[in-house]
C-alpha cells in the first residue's frame, strides 16, 4: 500500500530555505490561534481542493477536544508566524501512552516549498520522541501529494485508504504511520 516512492513535479521539490529570522515557530497558544487554524483550513482547502464548510466543522471539533483535554505531557501545537501572521501549524494529540496523532499540518501557499513544512514536522517528531511515543499516525487525503512526499521522506508509510463522500467531495482518505 505504501506509495512513498512516487516522483513529484520539480516545482514541488524546490528546497530553497526561508530566512530563519523571518519565521518564528512557537509552542504556546495565544488568543485567536485556534480560530486562525480553523479559518486557514477552511479557506485554503476550499480554494485549493473544493472542500465545503463541513471541513471547518471537523477541524473545529478536533481543536475543541484538543484544547479542552490538553495535557502538555502528550499534546503539542506549533504555530509558525511571519510578521505576526500565522503562516503554518502542526499539532500532536497523544492517543495512548505509546501512540500519537499528527493533526492540523498546514502551510500557507506563499510559504510552501521553502522548508517550513519540514521544520514544523521536525518539531512534532522531536516532541513525540521526547515523550517516548512508539508510533505516530495521521489521516490526509490523496490530493495532498506534496504533503505525502514530505511524510514519506521522514519515514511515514501509507497503511490504509478509504474512498468516500466527505467535505463536499468524493475523496480518498489515507492513513500514514511512523514507527519511532
161-177 pLDDT, tens digit per residue, is: 999 999 999 999 999 99
Residue 86 near residue 40 (C-beta atoms within 8 A): yes
Q: Phi-psi category of 28—alpha, beta or left, where left has phi over 0 and alpha has psi -120 to 50? A: beta
Count how many Cα atoms sit within 13 Å of the Cα of residue 68 in the half-sphere of its side chain.
6
- Mind listing the domains of the chain with CATH numbers? 22-179 (3.40.630.30)
pTM for the full predicted model:
0.88
Pairwise CA distance, residues 171 & 167, whole Å: 9
Q: What is the pLDDT of residues 3-59, one digit of tens each?
A: 665 544 433 333 344 455 589 999 999 999 999 999 999 999 999 999 999 999 999
Amino acid at each position: 500500500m505504501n506509495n512513498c516512492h512516487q516522483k513529484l513535479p520539480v516545482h514541488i521539490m524546490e528546497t530553497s530555505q526561508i530566512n530563519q529570522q523571518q519565521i518564528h515557530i512557537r509552542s504556546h497558544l495565544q488568543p485567536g490561534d485556534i480560530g486562525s487554524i480553523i479559518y486557514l483550513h477552511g479557506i485554503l482547502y476550499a480554494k485549493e481542493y473544493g472542500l465545503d464548510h463541513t471541513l471547518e466543522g471537523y477541524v473545529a471539533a478536533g481543536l475543541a477536544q484538543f484544547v479542552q483535554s490538553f495535557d502538555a505531557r502528550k499534546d503539542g501545537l506549533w504555530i509558525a508566524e511571519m510578521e505576526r501572521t500565522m503562516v503554518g501549524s502542526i499539532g500532536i494529540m497523544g492517543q495512548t501512552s505509546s501512540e500519537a496523532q499528527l493533526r492540523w499540518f498546514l502551510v500557507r501557499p506563499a510559504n510552501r516549498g521553502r522548508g517550513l513544512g519540514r521544520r514544523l514536522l521536525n518539531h512534532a517528531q522531536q516532541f513525540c520522541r521526547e515523550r517516548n511515543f512508539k508510533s505516530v499516525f495521521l489521516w490526509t487525503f490523496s490530493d495532498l501529494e506534496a504533503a505525502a512526499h514530505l511524510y514519506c521522506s521522514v519515514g511515514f508509510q501509507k497503511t490504509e485508504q478509504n474512498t468516500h463522500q466527505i467535505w463536499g467531495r468524493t475523496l480518498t482518505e489515507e492513513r500514514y504511520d511512523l514507527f519511532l
